[in-house]
Amino acid sequence: MSIHQQPPAVQKGFLTYRVVEKRRESELVTSFLLAANDPLPAFRPGQFVVVRLPGDDGGTLLRNYSLSGKARDATHLRISVKREPAPAGRPDLPAGKGSGYLHEHVRVGDLLEIAGPVGDFVLDEESRRPVVLFSGGVGITPMVSMLHSLSVDSQRRVYFVHACENGAVHAFRDEVLALAASRPGIDVHFCYRQPGPDDLGTKAFHSQGLIERPTLQALLPIDDYEVYLCGPRPFMQANWRLLRELGVDKERIHYEFFGPATVLEEDETSPVVTEVSPVREAAADEALMVQFLPSGTRMAWNPDCHSLLDLAEQAGLQPAFNCRAGLCNACRVSLRSGSVEYFEAPLDAPDNGDILLCCSRPVSAVTVEIAPSFKEN
C-alpha cells in the first residue's frame, strides 16, 4: 500500500463516547454519531476506530469500523456499520456479533468504548493528482469521509465510483450527490448489479451489472490518478486487475483490505513460496524456527522482519490483519508452542494462549495456528 503521509499518532486506550444519533442509511447500513466529553482525536479521512462491545460469554468483542464523517468535525465522530450475515458458504458460522449488537441493542444516549483512530489507508491531502474513489458495498464508508474533505479543502478533480447490489442497500446516495454538487469537478457514477423495479423507475444508477473496462475508460480520461479502492475481496481483486490493465501504476492504487497485497497482486507475481529452502533448513540449529499451521510452513526467523505477521507474509501466507499496531486484534492467532515477546503492548492483549502477530516476535522456536477469519466492517 502506498501512502504519502503519516497518519496521526495512534491514541492508545479507550475513550467513552455517547451515541447522539442513530440513522439508517440503507437496508443494511446504520450510522452512529458519537460525541465525547474529552477533545476528539484528530483523524485523516479513511481511518477507522476500534469499538469494544460486550460478548455473549461475559467477555468482550473488538470490532473495527471506518469513520464516515468529516475529518475536521471537532465535535463528533461517525461510524457506519453494515449488519453482517453469516459468511457466504458457511452456514455453521453465526451472523456478525458486533454489527448485530450495534444494530439491535445500541440506542441514542448509550455509551460506547472506542480506541483510535488508526489505519494507514488515508487520503493523501498533499497530492495534486486527480482522485478516483472506487468502492463496493460497505467499502463506501471511508470514501464518504474522503469526499467530505475533497469537496471542501481541495479543488482536485474527483471521480466517485460506487458499485452495489441495488438501491435498497445503497448507503449515502443523497449525501454523495450533495457533496458532488457543492463544487465543480466532482463526477459520480453508481453501478447496480441487479437494480430493482424502483431503481429502474427513478434512474437511481448510471450503469448495470459489474464495473467493466469500457465503463472506466468512458469515465476516466487518461491521467495520472490517485486511486482509493475499498470493498469486498472479489470486488477488490477484479478491480485491482482492471485498473492495472488500464495502466494505473500500482503505487497509485491505495486500498483498504484485510490481507496482504499478494492477494491482489497474485496474477502479477511469481508463485509464492510455502516451503523454506534447503539452505535455510540447514541453518535450523542456528536460528529460531517458526511453524505456521495448518499449512505446516516452516521458516527461520528473519531478524529483518518487523513482526511475525511480516514473516508469515514473507512465507506466502495470508493471515488477517488491519491496524498493524496492536489495536484491532484482527491478526489474533493461537500460539501452539514456544514463546513470543510483544515489542509493542497490545491495546487488549488476547488470552487463552492467543497472540497478535502484528506486534510480536519469537524468543524461542514457535508454532502458531492461523485460523480462517472473516472481516466484519
Distance CA 312, CA 260 (A): 10
- pLDDT score for 264: 65
The per-type count for the chain, helices as H runs and strands as E runs, is 9, 19
2 against 344, higher pLDDT: 344
94 pLDDT exceeds 70? no
Global pTM value: 0.76
Architecture of domain 15-118: Beta Barrel (2.40)
Domain spans of the chain, in order of start: 15-118, 131-256, 289-369
Q: What are the two backbone dihedrals, phi and then psi, of residue 105, each rounded to the nearest 5 degrees?
A: -115, -25
- pLDDT score for 344: 80
How much of the chain, in percent, has pLDDT values that exceed 90?
50
Q: Is the dihedral of CA 178, 182, 183, 184 positive or negative?
A: positive
Element (H, E) at 367: strand 366-369
- DSSP-assigned beta bridge partners for residue 164: 192
Q: What CATH topology corresponds to 289-369?
A: Ubiquitin-like (UB roll) (3.10.20)
CATH code 3.40.50.300 for 131-256: no
- DSSP-assigned beta bridge partners for residue 51: 63, 114
Calculate ∠ Cα 145-149-154, nearest 5°: 150
- pLDDT score for 37: 82
DSSP string, 4-46: SSPPPPP--S-EEEEEEEEEE-SSSEEEEEEE-SSPPPP--TT
Alpha helices in 247-336 (DSSP H): 262-265, 278-282, 308-314
Distance CA 29, CA 48 (A): 16
